[in-house]
Amino acid sequence: MFPIPLTHLQRLEAESIHLMQEVVAEAERPVMMYSIGKDSAVMLHVARKAFYPAPPPFPLLHVDTTWKFRDMYAMRENAAKQAGMELLVWQNPDAKAQGINPFDHGSALHTDMWKTQGLKQALDHYGFDVAFGGARRDEEKSRAKERMLSFRSVGHRWDPKVQRPELWHLYNGLKSPGESIRAFPLSNWTELDIWQYILLEDIPIVPLYFAKERPVVERSGTLIMVDDDRMRLHQGEKPMMKKVRFRTLGCYPLSGAVESTAETLTDIIQEMLLTRTSERQGRMIDHDQSASMEKKKQEGYF
Amino acid sequence: MAHVSDLIAGDIAEYLKQHENKTLLRFITCGSVDDGKSTLIGRLLYDSKMLFDDQLAAMEADSKRWGTQGGGIDFALLVDGLAAEREQGITIDVAYRFFSTDQRKFIVADTPGHEQYTRNMITGASTADVAVILIDARLGILTQTRRHSFLVSLIGIKQIVLAINKMDLVEFDQARFDAIEEEYRAFAAQIGLQDITAIPLSALGGDNMISRSERTPWYQGPTLMAYLETCEVDATHLQMLPMRLPVQWVNRPNLDFRGFSGVLTSGQLRPGDRIRIQPSGKETTVKRLVTMKGDLDVAVAGQSVTVTLADEVDVSRGNVFSAADAPAEVADQFECHIVWMAEQPMFVGRPYRLKIGAQLVNVNITALKHKVNVNTLEHVAATELTLNEIAVCNISLDRAVAFEPYAVNREMGGFILIDRQTEQTVGAGMLHFALRRSQNIHQQRFDVDMAARAAQKGQAPVVLWFTGLSGAGKSTIANHVERQLFAMGRHSYLLDGDNVRHGLNRDLGFTDADRVENIRRVSEVARLMIDSGLIVLTAFISPFRAERIQAKQTIGEGNFYEIYIDTPLAVAEQRDVKGLYKKARSGQLKNFTGIDSPYEVPAAPSLTVYTENETAEQSAAKVVAFLKAKGIV
């Protein structure tokens, strides 16, 4: 008998599948958060492999802000259909009634209302006890300290000081009344792992990740794409066509594009490996203050 | 992420191919508060060019605000992620960091050094291949160093880097370095650590981190990075052991497909292999290894796979597939190490849940053989285990499980303990071996059984478990109930707390550990009595929910009725029939329930009797009415 070495991606995939099967075996009503980005695409793909030939035994949930790129909405419908899964879309009715948008209300309030509050409403509304999320530990400092199974109190708060110890690959998925769980199967993946896995497994992703001529405006050093006519142009501002792509995707008025010529996956990976800025840099919501992600997470953000 | 390789710009496809086949090393760093652990990791990330410009900018800003390096870059801020940590200048929780070089991919578990966070170190160490133990060259080996080294050896890490840091503060003195190394090796040998590499470092200055320092010309060994890149990672040795696959998930989308999913913890598996399903012992043959990308010819340790079988055999989550010619051991009683991780102490006799593999079972700590003083390695006698303490214990499971000794296979011999009320993970353990007694003591079967004895007496044998505060009226009410039962011609016995403590439990006091044992013994006696066909009434404060649950399990759910005598503390204290509350209030009596020891109110009693506004006779009448309604009398 000869040993057959596993690549680190095979190990990461096995670890993620293991967590998903543990969660589904112990949960009452699990759901998978689906944000349409590359991490969600990988998480969904791993879930399909975990439960094949059955479809993953839980629905997908998209907490929608109504301000995503049009390409993302197209991707969303397709992905759910391909996987044979039910897709639930939640739009915070309060945010809708108040017409919350990034232009009038700023990124902080916009994100809190549509995403943090919306997520909590959706989880409570459907009674989900475990929600899978695609967060990775290499993304941000407070994420590096989060467990694979992250417990939230009533009100979905995260308390980093009372996390359950996680030893070996033993996960304790038992809950006290009122508690819920966020499960992060991709915790130990890095950005490079994600891209390489997409390449190897041929996983479809939103075309916005690839460079293309797109209409953008420049605002305080960041390129913002004019994705639809809700975009408010400043006086004298005129969209210009630039060859750009996105490293992370969110609400289009809050997602910074980078100028790029990367048209293929290998181009993207090459560009990423040579770049000097992190992927979250294009994300406006982390920069409000240096501990802002931790604060958001304590308030119930993913 | 400026990886140093020229291939990235030149031949990206070739780079990715190389990267795909890199090995993965997981290591932990441990040290005391000011040993410079965070600085060391920050430095590794910084020097291996894993930091982005925006992260550097954020770090520089943070350094000005929180830093301890007088405006210079404080690498520690890179890893001390939580705001609370920055304010206190300490690390609270295990953090995982990722970096890679041309040789390898790394995952670092950064574990805090404070005494109260030992549980985090065990968590971080449980998946690590190598431990980097930091020492401040000025201070040498501390109690913490010994503690961390013991934990590292306990969790089974064999390769140790002794990172003797802050060498710049001792003028890179070789004699100092040698003395520390020698002292450490002598200590490490006692706990079975042999593979030790000592490196003189200044994490702050970068000496011997990535490149060899000119300030230590006397040092011939590897730099820290060189060691991490080249040390052996024996990722495939588990494949050479007999096959084990704990079944996590039964995949049954329709009547035509029935698959069993899980990760192989050891060995290799091929279609056609004979396997044994444990603990049932049935054997069958592997039919297919199913994946979304087509069936596999072979699956190996570390891989997740869905297996179909040749026969329709009974398999459920928690079962283990084993190579039929080399199956795992199956047992329900073990000797093990337990590391306690909760504020609430562990007591002998108290029931917990235990998770091993995909199995969740009930467990009892049957004996605490000794605690280990992690600083001196001395064995200490004890009746309870408190936060961060480690002990050798015997445990008894409520059903048999397939296992491997922890030293053979971490995933098959490591377990966690879960509190039955809070569902928190309260402990972790490592199985040593099965206790032979579980195989050698067999239950005798007798022809006259509980049903026969009960039928002879014409009654249903049950236990009426009265619980409540001291002075609530348990004994008085139980006494009235028994008188009525007697009058009805029933055969009964009343076990009373005070009376039992004069005889059977004369050796027990009122500490939490003794209270747990008190109730355990009474439960066993009550069980023998209902087995003889009696109706048993017990009158014990029995303040802890866990022990009442245990009593219910010992006695059998169908025969156990929990009767909560609900009397407000103020009322019980005012009655104070035995004068005990007065003594407790004046401090003459310690550990008195309701005063300085808790009473955990039953979550779902069979019957609650409110005594505040009624006599003991009236309360007793309610109990008898309840028994009639249940058809017991």
Q: For residue range A95-122, what is the model confidence (pLDDT) as tens digits?
A: 888 888 887 888 888 888 888 889 889 9
Amino acid sitting at position A270: Q
User: Boundaries of CATH 3.40.50.620 in chain A?
Assistant: 8-194+291-299
CA triple B71-B74-B79, angle to 5 deg: 150
Q: Is the pLDDT of residue B491 over 60?
A: yes
Mean pLDDT of B13-29: 85
Structure letter (DSSP) for residue B169 = G
Rounded CA-CA distance B524/B518 in Å is 10
Mean pLDDT of B24-30: 90
A246-255, B164-173, B442-451, range with greatest mean pLDDT: B164-173
What ipTM describes this predicted complex? 0.87
Rounded CA-CA distance A143/A138 in Å is 7
Q: Is the pLDDT of residue B497 over 60?
A: yes
Q: If pLDDT is split at 50, 70 and 90, which confidence band does A1 have?
A: confident
**Distance from the B396 Cα atom to the nearest Cα atom in chain A, whole angstroms:** 20
Instruction: For chain A, give the mean pLDDT.
Output: 86
With CB atoms and an 8 Å threshold, state whether A21 touches B248: yes
Strands (E), B471-516: 492-496
Tracing tokens 């790029």 back to the chain, one arrives at A260
Best of B304, B353, B388 to substitute, by most chain A Cβ atoms within 10 angstroms, is B304
Residue in chain A lying closest to B25 (CA): A8
Of B142 and B164, more confident: B164
Which residues in chain B touch residue A172, judged by CB atoms under 8 angstroms apart? 355, 416, 418, 423-425
Instruction: Report pLDDT for B235.
Output: 66
CATH-assigned architecture of domain B329-438: Beta Barrel (2.40)
Span of A138-142, A214-218, A246-250, B150-154 with lowest mean pLDDT? A138-142
Mean pLDDT of B202-228: 91
Span of A20-24, B181-185, B503-507 with lowest mean pLDDT? B503-507
Residue B259: its H or E element = strand B257-263
Rounded to 5 degrees, φ, ψ at A4 are: -115, 105
Q: How far is CA A265 from the centre of its chain?
A: 19
Q: What is A8-194+291-299's CATH superfamily?
A: HUPs (3.40.50.620)
Query: Which among A66, A74, A16 is positioned nearest to A194, based on CA atoms?
Result: A16
Neighbour-count burial for B208-247, b at 16+ CB within 10 Å, e otherwise: bbbebbebbeebeebbbbbbbbebeeebeebbebbbbbbb
With CB atoms and an 8 Å threshold, state whether A291 touches B248: no
Rounded CA-CA distance B633/B618 in Å is 18
Contact between B512 and B596 under an 8 Å Cβ cutoff? The reply is: no
Span of B92-101, B290-299, B427-436 with lowest mean pLDDT? B92-101
Q: Which of B22, B290, B355 sits opposite A172 (nearest CB)?
A: B355
Contact between A32 and A131 under an 8 Å Cβ cutoff? The reply is: yes
Instruction: Report pLDDT for B462.
Output: 93
pLDDT digits (tens, 9 = 90+) for B317-335: 999 999 999 999 999 999 9
With CB atoms and an 8 Å threshold, state whether A164 touches B13: no
Instruction: Report pLDDT for A279.
Output: 58
Instruction: Report pLDDT for B3.
Output: 47
Q: Is the pLDDT of residue B147 over 90?
A: no
Q: If pLDDT is split at 50, 70 and 90, which confidence band does B291 have?
A: very high
Instruction: Report pLDDT for B558.
Output: 87
Fold of B7-230: Rossmann fold (3.40.50)
Mean pLDDT of B619-629: 92
Instruction: Report pLDDT for B153.
Output: 92
**Residue B129 β-bridge partners:** none
Q: If pLDDT is split at 50, 70 and 90, which confidence band does B535 have?
A: very high
Instruction: For chain B, give the mean pLDDT.
Output: 87
Query: Which among B31, B164, B19, B6 is positioned nearest to B99, based on CA atoms?
Result: B19
Instruction: Report pLDDT for A178.
Output: 79
Q: Is the pLDDT of residue B1 over 50?
A: no
Q: Is the pLDDT of residue B211 over 60?
A: yes
Fold of B237-323: Elongation Factor Tu (Ef-tu); domain 3 (2.40.30)
SS3 state at B98 = strand
Query: Which among B90, B177, B105, B104 is positioned nearest to B135, based on CA atoms?
Result: B177
Instruction: Report pLDDT for A288.
Output: 44
pLDDT digits (tens, 9 = 90+) for A227-252: 888 888 888 888 899 999 998 888 88
Instruction: Report pLDDT for A177.
Output: 78
Strand B95-100: give its sheet, edge to edge: B95-100, B104-110, B23-30, B130-136, B159-165, B195-200
Distances (CA, A) of B601 to A259, B86, B434, B547, B554: 65, 41, 37, 12, 20
Sort strands B274-278 and B195-200 into parallel, antiparallel or unpaired.
unpaired
Q: How many CA atoms lie within 13 A of B270 on its CB side?
A: 7
Mean pLDDT of B280-308: 95
Contact between A129 and A27 under an 8 Å Cβ cutoff? The reply is: yes
With CB atoms and an 8 Å threshold, state whether A17 touches B302: no
SS3 state at B172 = coil
Rounded CA-CA distance B525/B522 in Å is 5
Best of B56, B120, B292 to substitute, by most chain A Cβ atoms within 10 angstroms, is B292
Q: Which two tokens stand for residue B471?
A: 């002075």
Percent of chain B residues topping a pLDDT of 70: 89
User: Boundaries of CATH 3.40.50.300 in chain B?
Assistant: 7-230, 450-629
CA dihedral A170, A174, A180, A184 (to 10 degrees): 10
**CB within 8 Å of B631: residues ≥ 6 apart:** B460
User: Boundaries of CATH 2.40.30.10 in chain B?
Assistant: 237-323, 329-438
With CB atoms and an 8 Å threshold, state whether B98 touches A137: yes
Instruction: Report pLDDT for B437.
Output: 57
Q: If pLDDT is split at 50, 70 and 90, which confidence band does B338 have?
A: very high
Instruction: Report pLDDT for B68.
Output: 58
Q: Which of A54, A164, A280 sits opposite B251 (nearest CB)?
A: A54
Q: If pLDDT is split at 50, 70 and 90, which confidence band does B91 have?
A: low
Percent of chain B residues topping a pLDDT of 90: 49
Q: If pLDDT is split at 50, 70 and 90, which confidence band does B86 have?
A: low
Q: What is B450-629's CATH superfamily?
A: P-loop containing nucleotide triphosphate hydrolases (3.40.50.300)
Amino acid sitting at position A116: T
Which pTM value belongs to this model?
0.79
Instruction: Report pLDDT for B440.
Output: 47
**Distance from the B604 Cα atom to the nearest Cα atom in chain A, whole angstroms:** 15
Phi/psi-derived region of residue A225, left when phi > 0, alpha when psi is between -120 and 50, beta in every other case: beta
With CB atoms and an 8 Å threshold, state whether B20 touches A274: no
Distances (CA, A) of A300 to A153, A166, B214: 9, 21, 51
Instruction: Report pLDDT for B619.
Output: 92
Rounded to 5 degrees, φ, ψ at B352 are: -135, 170
Best of B18, B237, B247, B248 to substitute, by most chain A Cβ atoms within 10 angstroms, is B248
Per the residue annotation, which of B542, B586, B606, B619 is the catalytic one?
Answer: B542
Q: If pLDDT is split at 50, 70 and 90, which confidence band does B87 have?
A: low
pLDDT digits (tens, 9 = 90+) for A197-207: 999 999 999 99
With CB atoms and an 8 Å threshold, state whether B262 touches A21: yes
Q: Is the pLDDT of residue B227 over 90?
A: yes
Which residues in chain A touch residue B356, judged by CB atoms under 8 angstroms apart? 170
**Distance from the A99 Cα atom to the nearest Cα atom in chain B, whole angstroms:** 33
Q: Which two tokens stand for residue A31?
A: 């759901």
Rounded to 5 degrees, φ, ψ at B354 are: -130, 130
Residue B126 designated active-site: no
